[in-house]
Amino acid sequence: MTGLTFLSNRSILDNDFYKFTMQQAVVRLFPSAMARYSFINRGKHLFPAGFGDILRERINGMSKLFLTGQEKRFLAENCPYLDPLYLDFLSGYRYDPGEVSISQHGEDIKIEIEGHWYRSILWEVPIMSLICELYYELTGGERISDDEIINRASVKAAQFRSLGVNIAEFGTRRRHSYHVQKLVIDTFSRQGGKMFVGTSNVHLAMLHQTKPIGTHAHEWFMYHAAVYGFPQANSTALQHWVDVFRGDLGIALSDTYTTDVFLGQFDKMFSKLFDGVRQDSADPIEFADKLISHYTKLGIDPLTKTIIFSDGLDYEKVARIHEHCQGRIGFSFGIGTNLSNDVGLEPMNIVIKMTETRQPNGQWTPVVKLSDSLDKNTGDKQMIAAAKTILNIRS
């Protein structure tokens, strides 16, 4: 199967929404910045012979993708904070497979991405989804049937609907396949009612006439730490976000350098200006209590703010969070793998992370992430140690 055939039913918008929102910000503020990304095989998955060559072929096929007129109109009508200049830029954007290097040694795969940040920023999510789809295809794992997938999604939709919570689908990067993700979103769109508020996948949001969900990712803060220093990373990144989006897309990611450090810089101005925060690591109940306390100390009613929980969610975890937070703070949920890869096979545990950035005529600088969960830390060990010292992080 060729890469072009494999992608024939896809779109350049088959990507997470926050990649496009961040791309607009990078185009406007940091057009000369360079970035490097690396594949991290957290699950120690073993890749069959020829995997790298087929992945190379399918990535090459992505150069044929482009923003259609219909897609541009969808973004213009549904995302008014994406300005016309950016949409014109995206209309001319093409993936450059030369930015991606792939090598396979035995059962190990090495994938690296390098290019201007405003270009290379779009690679992460589609490459991860390609890795997952190709892995299941080549290893011969037999998933449950389409009917069983729809039935499981129907049960989950009914459970979440009975809780009265808001659910968004966040599963593109580690989905079993495009087909499975689409089946789940089809089911949630038909059966979820007001419970289903959208998906992070822009292409599938357009197909289902629902809302694309997302703001920014860890790399936004990681870049700012490398350029402006660890003590200023959160506040400068938030200020630059405000400079670009002027109050729209107001959910801040809190755990790039631990939530405790973030809250120390999430002062009254930012706490009032941003609609809420996203929780992506550590214990969600402890996180909720920290945020409630933070807003209360600043004289802000927590019920006017929202936490987006997005870390490894299933029904039981959602129900526990709902019980704890109801009537105390606003909340919503973004669910990924449990929706897009609940097919009877082991989901892959993989990530692609920014590793370095470089300014014009400068040297490459390592970037790091210091999550609330130690197993999610990424980056150069010496730089991680330096960040912990500078930020007084003891764990």
- Asked whether the domain spanning 146-340 has the same topology as the one spanning 3-141+349-391, the reply is yes
Domain 146-340 has CATH 3.40.50.2300: no
Distance CA 344, CA 324 (A): 31
Distance CA 262, CA 280 (A): 13
Contacts of residue 8, defined as CB under 8 A and 6 or more positions apart, other chains included, come to none
**pLDDT means over runs of 10, the chain (395 residues):** 45 98 98 98 97 98 97 98 98 98 98 98 98 97 97 98 98 97 98 96 97 97 97 98 98 97 98 97 96 98 98 96 98 98 97 96 95 87 95 88
Distance CA 115, CA 98 (A): 9
CATH of 3-141+349-391, one of 3.90.1300.10, 3.20.20.70, 3.40.720.10, 3.20.140.10: 3.20.140.10
CB 362 within 8 A of CB 226: no
What residues does each domain of the chain span? 3-141+349-391, 146-340
Distance CA 182, CA 126 (A): 15
Q: Which residue has the tokens 């968004």?
A: 168
Tell me: the pLDDT tens digits for 126-152?
Answer: 999 999 999 999 999 899 999 999 999
